[in-house]
Chains A and B, each alone.
Chain A
Amino acid sequence: MSEISRDEVAHLAMLSRLALSEEEIKLFAEQIDEIVGAVAAVQQVDTEGVEPMSHPHSIATAMRDDVLVPTLTAEQALDQAPATEDGRFMVPQILGEE
């Protein structure tokens, strides 16, 4: 079975923001095809009427007391940034030139 093509991995890499090399794309296409072949076993299980489980326990929204507590300062938050300017994170261009 060959479910995952080279082009599909290239597309998934784009969606995942991973600039993979051509060698990586080819290798992952082979390996992920094999992995999907193995994990596709879940499709053979009869799950008629079974609810999906996303989390081990049911969780309720946890509330805390509404009191002021210290949080990170701007300096702490920016301390490990690759680039900053005027107390902000500096990032490459996000929108087009036009």
Chain B
Amino acid sequence: MTTYTVPESGLTSLTAAELAQKIHSREVTSREVVQAHLDRIAETDGEINAFLHVGAEAALAAADAVDRSLDAGEAPASPLAGVPLALKDVIVTTDAPTTGASKILEGWMSPYDATVTRKLREAGIPILGKTNLDEMAMGSSTENSAYGPTRNPYDLERTPGGSGGGSAAALAAGQAPLAIGTDTGGSIRQPAALTNTVGVKPTYGTVSRYGFLAAASSLEQAGPTARTVLDAALLHEIIAGHDQFDATTVQRELPSVVDAAREGASGDLQGVRVGVVKQLNRDEGFQPGVLSSYRAALDQLAEQGAEIVEVDCPHFDDALAAYYLIMPCEVSSNLARLDGMRYGLRVGDDGTRSADEVMALTRAAGFGPEVKRRIILGTYALSVGYYDAYYLQAQRVRTLIAQDFEKAFEQVDVLVTPTTPTTAFKLGEKVADPVEMYNFDLCTLPLNLAGLCGMSVPAGFAEDTGLPVGLQIMAPAFADDRLYRVGAAYEAGRN
């Protein structure tokens, strides 16, 4: 019988750090590791649909290059050299199509690599393929993919979350030991919570956005996902850093998250102040099984020596409203480039229609309902007469949310919340109700508005549904190391 969660033995059961150790000591080859994951994908992805494209040939070629270099006695190009990875299909690659799970970019080949892609290649990380997502990273369930939803390896009837459901499901199924996601309002952390995996949204400005299919540029950031905190840290250090092709990346020394993860692995949290956000520490709107796992996590952090303090962030109650104005406004502007003129789909160009008409037909045929909804909503909120009342007001609320975080971090080192209000919901359950779907991002999106960093780390399984629960840890801008220190300690305390 096929099981869809991580196998109990064999190369696909191991963490990235374990695989790297075996590859670098030449106990196994990178090719063997890559082939084992390709086999696992072939075995399970018909059901899970985590991948939109599998690049077996390119991945094996990259693995062979690593093997040759190690056989020649050279030092590994990075601590993860030879360990394969799944890349969210919103990051461009020259050797595989990049679609954003949209029909408007079906089969599109980028003429250049994203900076993240380039860094992965330079680190000797073979890319297994491109993972499924909600179209243009807009959604919370991967049901907005134009190529069918991804299924949760823990229950195939349910969503793995979104937008990065493909990357999260690939990890949870043992199809890949590492994956890259992007997080605009929770698209890394929320799927991590639903699939018992680790997902990190780095501080805004620390990972280059060059070569992303941009949707909401002031909010989104790529980040590492894995099955352990240490693996995420190792990947984090490879992708982070200033990039001359992204003017929003900062030129500053970033703390070592790998050191922080190793330090945290001792499990000691003496002297660490952990803040519980009053506004997200309530019964209303939260599934009882999520709350009991969350409260057990708080008890465990306290047992490990952390001081638990309640903090007040009054404007978090308005974060959802501010986010679902700012995000669609940026989308309506950003996606104007997808017009069928220079690349991608073109519809209705029969010689009788104007460019305007062809653009409108192309975009209507190429975009799915959620993308269209957000474009219309953003265009509305940016219209003359509504701009001040909606967009500008949302930006003022954004300032207040950032100030709430600042005040909270004067009292504590990190903040914690449940990552999601419930465990994974059934496919189809929320599709007809966009507002209900948006509410699912309640806990994750305040952080994006302020540009800070956050992690979701596995917090066991809910006693009512038996499905995975995530603990969200949040830290100030450029203090990503705190996520890893506390996340690794919590992970060690659970084992």
Contacts and interface: CB of A to CB of B under 8 A. Distances in A.
Given A15-B379, A39-B325, A61-B247, A50 B399 contact: yes
Interface range, B side: 35 or more
Contact of B109 (A53, A72, A80): A80
Contacts of B367: 18
B407 to A, nearest CB: 14
A47 B393 contact: yes
A53 B315 CA distance: 14
B196 interface: no
Interface stretch (B72-80, B316-324, B417-425, B485-493): B316-324
Interface range, A side: 35 or more
Interface string B85-129: 000000000000000000000001101100000000000000000
A10 B359 CA distance: 16
B5 to A, nearest CB: 36
B325 A80 contact: no
Contacts of B397: 42, 45, 47
Contacts of B325: 39, 42
B360 A19 contact: yes
A54 B219 CA distance: 10
A8 B356 CA distance: 19
B58 interface: no
A61 B244 CA distance: 11
Contacts of A62: 244, 247
Given A20-B372, A40-B321, A52-B399, A12 B379 contact: yes
B450 A56 contact: yes
B244 A64 contact: yes
B375 A92 contact: no
Contact of B398 (A12, A53, A57, A83): A53
B321 A41 contact: yes
Nearest to A72: B111
B296 interface: no
A93 B377 CA distance: 29
A77 B340 CA distance: 14
A57 B390 contact: no
A94 B363 contact: no
Contact of A57 (B204, B318, B355, B380): B204
B282 interface: no
Interface string B290-324: 00000000000000000000000001001011101
Interface string B393-418: 11111111010000000000000000
B355 A94 contact: yes
Contacts of A19: 357, 360-361, 363-364
B435 A57 contact: no
For the residues of B in contact with A, the DSSP-based class is helix
Contact of A42 (B351, B390, B451): B390
Contacts of A42: 318, 321-322, 325, 390, 393-394, 397
A51 B451 contact: no
A79 B111 contact: yes
B247 A18 contact: no
A22 to B, nearest CB: 12
B372 to A, nearest CB: 6
A79 B112 CA distance: 12
Interface stretch (B26-34, B39-47, B341-349, B460-468): B341-349
B254 interface: no
A41 B316 CA distance: 12
Given A39-B390, A42-B318, A72-B112, A56 B435 contact: no
Nearest to B351: A92
Interface string A14-35: 1111111100100010011011
B389 A43 contact: yes
A68 to B, nearest CB: 14
Nearest to A94: B355
A1 B258 CA distance: 52
A13 B342 contact: no
A4 B244 contact: no
Contacts of A41: 318, 321
Nearest to B330: A54
Nearest to A56: B451
Pairs A-B, 3 closest by C-beta atoms: A56-B451, A52-B395, A82-B346
5 contacts: A12-B380, A17-B356, A24-B372, A47-B399, A53-B395
Interface of B: 108-109, 111-112, 204-205, 218, 244, 247-248, 250, 315, 318, 320-322, 324-325, 332, 336, 339-346, 349, 351, 353-361, 363-364, 367, 369, 372-373, 375-377, 379-381, 383, 389-390, 392-400, 402, 434-435, 438, 450-452, 477
Given A28-B372, A45-B396, A79-B109, 7 more contacts: A17-B359, A38-B435, A42-B322, A42-B325, A59-B248, A61-B247, A92-B358
